[in-house]
Structure 1
Amino acid sequence: MNHLSIILPAKNEAPALATLLPRLRATHPEAEIIVVDDGSTDDTRGICASSGVQCLSSPYSMGNGAAIKRGARAAGGDILVFMDGDGQHDPADVARLLDQLNRGYDMVVGARDWGSQAGVGRGIANTLYNWLATKMTGHPVLDLTSGFRAVRADKFREFLHLLPNGFSYPTTSTMAFFRSAYPVAYIPIKAAQRVGKSHIKPLRDGLRFLLIIFKIATLYSPLKLFVPASGLFFLLGCANYAWTFVHEGRLTNGSTLMWSAAVIVFLIGLVSEQITGLMYRRDA
């Protein structure tokens, strides 16, 4: 069996880690367990030391994605498992992820059901993300933003330069795997109520999560987003021209502006498609 590394990003999650780490060690005694302390001010390091777990500490918080990247670089396993340090993910489910990974997949994601969503708003947003990602990729995406996943280390490290330092690393990594034709699978899980308070703030992070929608498109195929937008501007221009021609017998600036916008949006999509291709190019 390939050497396994389990990576847990954590920021002030000492109460959850005190329970979670012994359970992880008991279920996977052979695994390398790494807690990436993202500038915690609690006893995270002490909890890790008492549990015999490696702790990588940052002097200040750099974000969940930054912690994931640091852990992935430090891990020695051929298989990486990422799970939250807040106690939501069941260590027993790690074996289920690994079993599916051994069937030929390069990434396996734990997909939460509706009851495991952190509130109605988050549930609706995640449903929208899943739907859009499914339409973009042509493959079923059951939980785009789940932080509980198993990956092949060599494949995951190809995309470290694409991962943001914030909370959208799951979105970026999933779309990158689909774009590179690395097979992705989902298994259903139930996420428990987190221990402690969430670090995600709706007002602060609302715009950030909205931008995930555009990231979904630009990470996979920008033209799938920009061509419909261009077509919409073109049709609006035609509709405006038809209205003004019938009522005023002339072409107005409004129609010309919308047709110009259609061309500009299409060209932006074309350039974005070329840039996206360069992002995934592997040097020989």
Structure 2
Amino acid sequence: MKLSIVIPAKDEEQGLALTLPRLLDAYPEAEIIVVNDGSSDGTGEVCRQHGVKTVDHPYSKGNGAAIKSGARCATGDYIVFMDGDGQHSPADVEKLLYKVAEGYDMVVGARTSRDDQASLARWSANSLYNWLASWMVNRKIDDLTSGFRIVNRRKFLSFLYLLPNGFSYPTTSTMAFFRAGYSVGFVPIVVAKRLGKSHISVLRDGVRFFLIIFKIGTLYSPLKVYFPMAVLVSGLGIANYIVANIASGAWRFTNMSTLLILSGMIIFLIGLLAEQLTNLQYKDSEEEL
């Protein structure tokens, strides 16, 4: 099995100086690709010193865009994605390889505990994502947002158009693989303290992380999200109808009850349409394979 290792990097000079020598020692035959996402430090120089392949972005396009550039450039049968900030240990790549040998199309390195740098808000958000995604796919998801994973390159490329340019590529790719019926596994890993400054801002990215929750649903099965909302809104309309008419004694629909019931019906129809569009979207991906 030919292996490619893709590392997205923006100003990760310190982390790469630690990670690249260890990767080269452990996997001398692997294709190592660093995607330099518009770095302003010595990231490019560190890559040249270690003789690894680089893909240079003229300006920062985002973590997801770097992942897509690296995947297009990779030639291996499987691609390992890992961060360049020193958090992911090259020794854990072996764990992913053992799991993929069991027949998995994607294996995710699941963080076993909250690392020192993860704020309580980020850790809580990740726990919420894991719970919601597990409910959507009816299978326990240990870590939805981990950037340390191995994927079948051919299958991953078929979903490349779905991936955003920002930081939510792990969520999108994981749910896409589940939706397509591919095998997704998890192995426990321990992350180290990141080297350098984090590029994630809780304030700036708060709304984006909130939107990921809805994206999880629309990627896997939109109707599973829209139908409970439709039942809830319509149920409020029926409850309003009953309470209002008991109070007035005149059994007729009020404006509010009518509005709520019709809103529930519209939400259901939107979910039904989204479900059909999602089926067509994944049908196109299967045809590309």
Regarding TM over 0.5, the answer is yes
Question: Does residue 265 of the first structure (1) align with residue 267 of the second (2)?
Answer: yes
Q: Secondary structure at the match of 1:197?
A: coil
Deviates more, 1:229-238 or 1:108-117: 108-117
1:15 equivalent to 2:17? Answer no
Tell me what 2:86 maps to: 87
Structure 1 partner of 2:39: 40
Per-residue CA distance 1:116-171 (angstroms, 9 max, x = gap): 37121111111110000000001111000000000111111110010000000000
Task: Note the alpha carbon deviations across 1:82-123, whole angstroms, 9 max, x for none.
Answer: 000111000000011011001100000000022337121111
User: What's the offset of the Cα at 1:212?
Assistant: 0.7
Deviates more, 1:112-121 or 1:83-92: 112-121
1:276 paired residue number:
278
CA distance in 1, matches of 2:21, 2:241: 69
2:85 aligned counterpart, secondary structure: coil
- For 1:246, the equivalent position in structure 2 comes to 246
What SS class does the counterpart of residue 87 from structure 1 fall into?
Answer: coil
| Matched ranges for 1:1-284 at <5 A | 2-116=1-115, 118-248=118-248, 249=250, 250-281=252-283, 282-283=286-287
Matched to 1:62, the amino acid is K
In 2, the alpha carbon distance for the partners of 1:27 and 1:114 equals 26
For residues 218-258 of structure 1, the C-alpha deviation after alignment (integer angstroms, 9 at most, x for no partner) is: 00000000000000011100111111101123421000000
CA-based RMSD: 1.0
Q: Provide the rounded CA distance (Å) in 2 between the counterparts of 1:138 and 1:76.
A: 34
Runs of 4+ aligned residues of structure 1 deviating over 6 Å after TM superposition are none
Deviation at 1:283? 2.7
Q: Is the 8 A contact 2:111 2:146 kept in 1?
A: yes
User: TM-score when scaled to structure 2?
Assistant: 0.96
The whole-number CA distance in structure 2 between the counterparts of 1:114 and 1:87 is: 17
SS of the residue corresponding to residue 114 of structure 2 reads helix
Instruction: Give, in whole Å, the separation in 1 of the partners of 2:33 and 2:101.
Output: 22
Q: Distance in 1 between matches of 2:51 and 2:123?
A: 36
* Preserved CA contact (<8 Å) 1:114 1:123: no
Secondary structure of the equivalent of 1:116? Answer: coil
Whole-Å Cα distance in 1 between the matches of residues 40 and 60 of structure 2? Answer: 10
Partners of 1:116 and 1:138 lie apart in 2 by: 27
Q: CA deviation at 1:259?
A: 0.4
**What is the CA distance between 1:5 and its match in structure 2?**
0.3
Q: Is the contact between residue 105 and residue 183 of structure 1 (CA under 8 Å) also seen in structure 2?
A: yes
Quick check: 1:109–1:150 contact (8 Å CA) kept in 2? yes
Count of residue correspondences: 283
Gaps of 5+ in 1: none
Separation in 2, partners of 1:218, 1:160 = 17
- Separation in 2, partners of 1:256, 1:113: 49
Structure 2, unmatched stretches of 5+, are none
Between the aligned residues of both structures, percent identity stands at 58
Q: Which amino acid aligns with 2:260?
A: M
Q: What CA distance in whole angstroms lies between the structure 2 residues aligned with 1:278 and 1:206?
A: 31
Question: Contact 2:88–2:191 (CA<8 Å) still a contact in 1?
Answer: yes
Measured in 1, the distance between the counterparts of 2:115 and 2:89 equals 12
Which secondary structure state, in structure 1, belongs to the residue aligned with residue 88 of structure 2? coil
Residue 5 of structure 2 aligns with an amino acid whose one-letter code is I
